[in-house]
Each structure stands twice: as structure tokens, then as C-alpha cells.
Amino acid sequence: MIKTIAVIEGDDAAPEAMKPVVSLLESLNIGLEFVYPEVGEIAEEKTGSVFPDEAKAIIDRADTTFFGSTSGKSGASLMYLRWGKETYANVRPCVYIPGCASPLANPEGIDFAIVRENLEDLYVGVEGPLEDLAPLSLSGRNIRQPIHELGKGRYAIKAITEEGTERVVRFSFELARKRAKTREGSPKVTSTQKHNMLRQSDGLFLDIATEVAKDYTDVEFETYIVDDFACRLIREPQKYDVIVMPNLYGDILSDAAGGLVGSLGLAASGIYGDHYAYFEPAHGTAPDIAGQNIINPTAALLTSTMMLEYLGFSHEAEKIEKAVFRVFAEGAVLTPDQGGNATTTEFIDAVGSAL
């Protein structure tokens, strides 16, 4: 059966990683069809919209979307892939690849996945002037005067819902069960949030996680306050399996996790909802190296393996992953962020040969 993948190559250096990965996927000859919705500046010039209906329709018809990082006008399509498609679980694995440029003395065995809640928290985008809150006359636990009397300023709303938390936490437990089939050690879910300070919002996140954990007695459950947890994650990253958290902490800690294995150039992500999923390297667009053909395509490659898995091509996913590991283990052809001097093309070619 043919599977259709909508490809949005992204901005700056992102297309330089995306294009060769798509070529590699094409060369597998497993019936993948690639379609290219026009978004961002190109679409704006032609249609007046950065995200025209036609692009949306192509995404809707496709089985999934493979998305390069965005810095600019293609951002509207990313927001559609998130809120339009209700993709609530942003899975960002962090795996030590032997041979990668980890700054740690003992990086062996790092293999965890951050599950970032993808739609709520401070990312609902409700912000404004503090004075707009005057009619509500809100005071807080730590301030006596109504918030709008604090001074001239702005507010942002952090929203944590019961339903939004429950589904991402359940997803995390299911993921831990799945991972347990191929991974050493017993499955564990760690939830992290700032429930000591944000007693209502993050307190709810923790309460729901604790409640859901009762349905998964085969999976260990533990929880930490997020600042303390950030330190633990750096000190003993091997201790973790699946780590679930609200949106903002997930955004920050998943980039930090990239540092554990040398760079965001290795950071893959798959973002799942109940009816759609899209796949995106978790690094940015790397404008500083755009046009040089040196961006590390590992993140895009590992992201593509998550996508293949989702589409039902587990065997091919595993093959690509093994090939990437082999190129790292040999160490002869690595991109500059990993201490080598190979170009993106040379790295991909090496992976192709290893396949």
C-alpha cells in the first residue's frame, strides 16, 4: 500500500538536511509517495497566504507530514500541525550513539524519551496587557494588590487541563510499555513539573499523572520538581526511560537533552495525536550554517525512522538506525558538530552505503 508523506522542508539550513533524507527514503522503494505543500514565503507570493487552503488539504490527505525546522513564515503550517491536528504528545528521544561527541565522561547507555505535552501550558498563546485584567481584580498567593496594580506589564496564561494531561500521561505509559519490549531494564515513567510553586496548574498535572499511574502497575512511576530534575537528568541520564512534562519544560529540557549527546543535530521528534502524527527534527534552522552543506542530518534521519515506524515500516526503520549507528561507530565520516569534517552529503552517502 502506498503511503503519502507531505514534506515541508523548512527554513535556512533545514532543507539541506531534509532533501537528502527524503532521497534516501525514496531509494528504499517501499511505496512512499512524497508531496510538497507550498507554505511560507513561496506560498505568500503566489496566493497571498503563508498557509493556503491547498497546502492544508495536502497535509490532510497525506498519511503524515515530515517537517523541517522553521524560523519564519512556514510557522503557520507548524501551528496547524499542532493545534489543527491535535497532536498532543511530542516525543523527543535522547539516545547515546557510540562515537558521538557527547561532553560527558560516561554517556554509555543514555536512552530516554521526553514526552512533551504539545498543546497546552503557556503555549496556548493567551497574552496581553496587565491592565486588561483589571475587571477581574485578581490577586495571588504571593502578591497582595490586584495583579493589574503591580505596574505596567503583560501577562501570559498557563492552561493545564484534565483531559489534556490525562491523554499525554497515558500515551507516556503506553510508550514505556512499548519501549520495554526492546530495551533493557524495567519500564519507568517520570513526571516532572513545578508543583511546589504552581500548585493549581502543575499540581493538577501531577495529580493526574499519579492517578493514571495506578492503571499501569507494571510500569514504575516517579516524580520530581522540574528544577531539581534538570540537575538529575544531567548527572545521571541513564536512570530515565520515559519522562512526561508540561509543554514549556519539555521545550527547554529536550534541547538540554540534546547537549547530553553532543548536539541538537541528533535530536529527533515524533508528534502524535489520536488521528494524525507529524515528524520533525527537534533542532532549529541553523541560519549560521545555511548554504554550507554541513548541517548534521542525523536528527532528520532518526526522525524519519520514527516516521517509518508509524507508517508500519519497522524493518526499514531499524535498518536506517543501524546504518546511522555504524557510521558513528566507524567515526570516519562525521559532520563538524560531531567533531568531523564531512559534508551533509558525504554523511548521508556513508549511511546509504552502510544500508
Q: Point out the residue whose Cβ comes nearest to Mg ion.
A: 251
CB of 283 to Mg ion, least distance (A): 9
Cβ proximity to ligand IPM: between 68 and 262 the closer is 68
Binds 213, which of ligand IPM, Mg ion, none (CB < 5 to 8 A, cut-off by type)? none
Partners of 116 in the β-ladder: 90, 245
CB of 186 to ligand IPM, least distance (A): 30
Going residue by residue from 252 to 291, which x/- string records binding to ligand IPM, judged by CB under 6 A?
Answer: ------------------------------x---------
Q: Point out the residue whose Cβ comes nearest to ligand IPM.
A: 251
Binds 9, which of ligand IPM, Mg ion, none (CB < 5 to 8 A, cut-off by type)? none
Cβ proximity to ligand IPM: between 83 and 325 the closer is 83
Q: Which of the residues 238 through 257 are near ligand IPM (CB under 6 A)?
A: 251
Q: Which of the residues 223 through 252 are near Mg ion (CB under 5 A)?
A: 251
Cβ proximity to ligand IPM: between 63 and 251 the closer is 251
The answer to whether residue 121 forms part of the interface with ligand IPM (CB under 6 A) is no
**Residues touching ligand IPM, count (CB under 6 A):** 2
Cβ proximity to ligand IPM: between 72 and 352 the closer is 72
CB of 27 to ligand IPM, least distance (A): 28
Cβ proximity to ligand IPM: between 251 and 316 the closer is 251
What residues line the site for Mg ion (CB under 5 A)? Answer: 251
Return residues touching ligand IPM (CB under 6 A). Answer: 251, 282
